[in-house]
Amino acid sequence: MRTAIYPGSFDPVTLGHLDIIRRASVMFDRLIVAVMHNQNKQPMFSVEERMEFLRCTTSQLPNVEIASFDGLLADYARQQGACAVVKGLRAVSDFEYEFQMALANRKLNPELDTVFLMTSAEYMYLSSSVVKDIAVHGGSVAGFVPDGIMQDIVRRTRKEG
Ligand code: COA
């Protein structure tokens, strides 16, 4: 049983994330999509809301589990018996930070490798911040986030904003 973890803030999940989830779910027996804390970010949606968006988005993928963890990714991977972390790479600008993270995580947990999947070209420009910015300013997020959660994101974003 090969378990991988796809960690992120997922604030909220986008079609770019879903693309990575779909592709990674074929590569591993079990994929845990973990909502984790990025100390540099102040999320707009609660952990529960972010998990709910992810559950709704991945309900058709039987080997995908949604979880959250408040500590170090390297510790969580050990706890779950995961052999890999999955991350999406969108552009060269992502590389330096991701490289640093991958090395730090492997230092903390030598069993853990990071697998990078190149983001599909149509999602190169996408980020959760772009989605929130569009929604807060009244734009349409169609084509940016999965259809099933679009209305909910817009409703909750406007309530916040
Ligand atoms: N398609 C679309 N958007 C994507 C994407 C893709 N394939 N891949 C990444 N993004 C976006 C994300 O939505 C995010 O957007 P935002 O900045 O607007 O929120 C941005 O790219 C950056 O993504 P990422 O680098 O994965 O950051 P993150 O905040 O989502 O996740 C954690 C970072 C949570 C994984 C990291 O902070 C972590 O591991 N935290 C736990 C503590 C820990 O172990 N720290 C490391 C110590 S070495």
Whether residue 149 lies inside any domain: the answer is no
To test the ligand 1 pocket, which listed residue (5, 6, 9) has its Cβ within 8 A of the most ligand atoms? 9
Return the pLDDT at 93.
83
Whether residue 138 lies inside any domain: the answer is no
Residue 161 pLDDT > 70: no
Return the pLDDT at 57.
96
Whether residue 28 lies inside any domain: the answer is yes
CA of 49 to the centre of ligand 1 (A): 17
Q: What is the number of the ligand 1 atom nearest to the C-alpha of 131? A: 18
Whether residue 152 lies inside any domain: the answer is no
* Tens-digit pLDDT profile for residues 19-63: 999 999 999 999 999 999 999 999 999 999 999 999 999 999 999
Cα Rg, the chain, nearest whole Å: 15
* Tens-digit pLDDT profile for residues 119-160: 999 999 999 999 999 999 999 999 999 999 999 999 998 766
Number of domains in the chain: 1
Whether residue 23 lies inside any domain: the answer is yes
Whether residue 88 lies inside any domain: the answer is yes
Whether residue 82 lies inside any domain: the answer is yes
What CATH number did the domain enclosing 41 receive? Answer: 3.40.50.620
Return the pLDDT at 115.
97
Whether residue 130 lies inside any domain: the answer is no
| Catalytic residue set | 17, 41, 90, 128
Percent of the chain whose pLDDT exceeds 70: 98
Return the pLDDT at 160.
60
Where in the sequence is the domain holding 33, given as residue range(s)?
3-120
